[in-house]
Structure 1
Amino acid sequence: MHSKVIIIGSGPSGHTAAIYAARANLEPVLFEGMMAGGVAPGGQLTTTTEVENFPGFPAGITGSELTDKFREQSERFGTQIITETITRVDLSSRPFKLWREDADGDSDEPDTCDSLIVATGATAKRLNIAGEDKYWQRGMSACAVCDGAAPLFRNKPLVVIGGGDSACEEATFLTKYASHVYIAVRRDAFRASNIMAKRAINHPKITVLWNTHVIEAKGDDRVLTHVVLQDAKTKETRNLDVSGLFYAIGHTPNTAFLNGQLTTDETGYLVVKPGTSLTNVQGVFAAGDVHDKRYRQAITAAGSGCMAALDAEKYLEELEAEAQEKASKL
């Protein structure tokens, strides 16, 4: 199958790119993935409970419902959505080649495209502690900004796991809603910058638990009610009553399938030309959390999806103009 533009990823950035590309009559094909990175089609947004900060939904909406609306709108304008995962690409020549998960070796016929939008996002790192599967989205999250204001967490004690800037930032953010916030740090010092560490340590609503591992999440079978802590030195355990646990231990950008063909930073995020979605390979564009490690919000991802689609449209127009010019000289 050959397409003018293929989009890999089905979060806010991927579907926004698809909507814009479809309305520009580019007939986009979107590979939404099947449990790519261990996450259902729709990406990290599907792991968020109540979304209250996406414009247009004053009463709030669940992450899954919002994703469903993105998908419905993409299809309305003619996007072809394929529920398969792209596991390998060849960007060394045009058209670009893409192989699906069930492809077996180079003999399988790849999908091809004139332009490619990579919107594969980033996966939040988890510790896979006991009880995590049971209480994920029922008191456990990896995004304080996304979920911290939810009724489940308001005026309740919460715990953040991590020792870097993200942990300090998220703990400080949560103090707006929580009765108290604990930060569980596995060592006896923060990895965070001095200014962020001091801000957290000196905050009246934050308590830092040094040399502490969270080893289990427990609850009443409906929601999280407490966690089990273990002292990193003595190995002694104790319970801590909290209504929320937030991981702040980083994200892994979903770029492994690119096999180094696009430029990334030291942590694996795609690098784009400032103010654009352009990667180092002409005709390949990046959108959403796969290149944005700072904001990581649905609305910023959607905005970058718009940019990628407009950049791809311009690129395809230039290709067509070049082809017409060559044809006129024959």
Structure 2
Amino acid sequence: MLDLAIIGGGPAGLTAGLYATRGGLKNVTMYEMGMPGGQITQSSEIENYPGQLEIVTGMELMQQWPEQCQRFGLKHEMAQVQTVIKNGDIFQLTLGDGNIVEAKSVIIATGSVPKKAGFKGENEFFGRGVSTCATCDGFFYKNKEVVVLGGGDTALEEAVYLSKICSKVYLVHRRDTFRAAPNTIEHVKHTENIELILNSEIDEVYGDAMGVNGVKVKNRNDGTIRDLAVPGIFVFVGRDVLNSTLKQPDGSYLCDLNQNGEVIVDLSMKTSTAGLFAAGDIRIEAPKQVVCAASDGAIAALSVISYLE
């Protein structure tokens, strides 16, 4: 039986494994289908991770994390966890091959993924002008014009954030009203370098080997195309929380979730189910930054140690 099962091998899961094993737990396994590292490995440039002076790719940043974590005894199992149920005080994990693993505690760190908008060039230029993180990539467009796609709180808040870095922000939304807090909408409308392009959608993003050169915006009413010569577009059309592992046979979930499907935790990363902890982008109010996910993993592991003691 495992002392701790960690589901997910991104910054949160890896750091949880490091702190749990270094903290004295002897039987800890991290389940991750692919190579550990998480979504950040897809980023082309990282310059805001503390202590990392050189600008590196996400892959380079995460390269040594697995080796460091495994040095203290963390095991990596390349298997998908289909479901987790709790039987008494013991968790039962059903793996993709049908095998069942038992564990005294579980940290769920499966994260979330940005939803795709579906426009032409979105996949081709992702990480080379198409971004889903203004905090990560906004600085690369200092004093340049960019496009923001979306109409919710996140899109508007990120547009305001980018307006302080970029010379101009085009905010494209498919409707003429926003799904955001009234004060956020007013803030956007009164920011001089944010231009609203409403009732519109992205028709195409185009560029070359160096990255994005422009964005074609289509008016949904009359079909006219506006060509914006910008080097970057930020897409905020929602996120898919990867919480299916927590779904129970009766359709409920192993712990409490909010309306967006994010796991509700306290400051110790405890969920509503004793012995189950959540870390990283799967939890409520996650900042979706590597350093924050790593912090979550450390906190969750320390909480597990206290729980088991």
What TM-score does the superposition give when structure 2 sets the normalisation length? 0.93
Match of 2:298 among 286, 297, 306: 306
Q: Which residue does 1:324 correspond to in 2?
A: none
Report the residue type matching 1:264 in the other structure: L
Report the residue type matching 2:6 in the other structure: I
Q: How far apart, CA to CA, are the structure 2 residues paired with 1:148 and 1:71?
A: 29
* Equivalent residues in 2 for 1:1-330, closer than 5 Å: 2-27=1-26, 28-34=28-34, 41-101=36-96, 103=97, 108-150=98-140, 153-259=141-247, 260-272=253-265, 274-317=266-309
- Runs of 4+ residues over 4 Å off in structure 1: none
42-51 or 215-224, which moves further after superposition?
42-51
State the Cα RMSD in Å.
Answer: 1.6
Q: 1:89 offset after TM fit, Å?
A: 1.7
Distance 1:113 1:294, change over 3 A: closer
Q: How far apart, CA to CA, are the structure 1 residues paired with 2:68 and 2:308?
A: 23
Secondary structure of 1:172's counterpart equals helix
Q: 1:16 offset after TM fit, Å?
A: 1.0
What TM-score does the superposition give when structure 1 sets the normalisation length? 0.87
Q: Which residue does 2:250 correspond to in 1?
A: none
Identity, % of aligned pairs?
A: 35
Higher helix share: 1
Q: How far apart, CA to CA, are the structure 2 residues paired with 1:183 and 1:248?
A: 11
Secondary structure of 1:246's counterpart equals strand
**Number of paired residues?**
303
Report the residue type matching 1:116 in the other structure: V
Q: Is contact 1:49–1:147 with CA below 8 Å preserved after alignment?
A: no
Q: Is contact 1:3–1:112 with CA below 8 Å preserved after alignment?
A: yes
Report the residue type matching 2:148 in the other structure: V
Residue deviations 1:129-172, cap 9 Å, x none? Answer: 2111210101011111111113xx23221101011111111111
Secondary structure of 1:305's counterpart equals helix
Secondary structure of 1:71's counterpart equals helix
Secondary structure of 2:233's counterpart equals strand
Distance 1:128 1:41, change over 3 A: farther
Q: Is contact 1:89–1:257 with CA below 8 Å preserved after alignment?
A: yes
Report the residue type matching 1:29 in the other structure: T
Secondary structure of 2:291's counterpart equals helix
Q: Is contact 1:129–1:216 with CA below 8 Å preserved after alignment?
A: yes
Q: 1:4 offset after TM fit, Å?
A: 0.9
Q: How far apart, CA to CA, are the structure 1 residues paired with 2:281 and 2:293?
A: 7
Distance 1:41 1:236, change over 3 A: farther
Q: Is contact 2:175–2:198 with CA below 8 Å preserved after alignment?
A: yes
Q: Is contact 1:48–1:146 with CA below 8 Å preserved after alignment?
A: no
Distance 1:41 1:129, change over 3 A: farther
List alignment gaps of at least 5 residues for structure 2.
248-252
Q: How far apart, CA to CA, are the structure 2 residues paired with 1:83 and 1:303?
A: 24
Residue deviations 1:63-109, cap 9 Å, x none? Answer: 222222322221222211122221222224343111222x2xxxx33
Secondary structure of 2:76's counterpart equals strand
Report the residue type matching 1:195 in the other structure: N
Q: Is contact 1:262–1:270 with CA below 8 Å preserved after alignment?
A: yes
Secondary structure of 2:303's counterpart equals helix
Q: How far apart, CA to CA, are the structure 2 residues paired with 1:174 and 1:90?
A: 43
Residue deviations 1:230-260, cap 9 Å, x none? Answer: 1111122232111111111222221112111
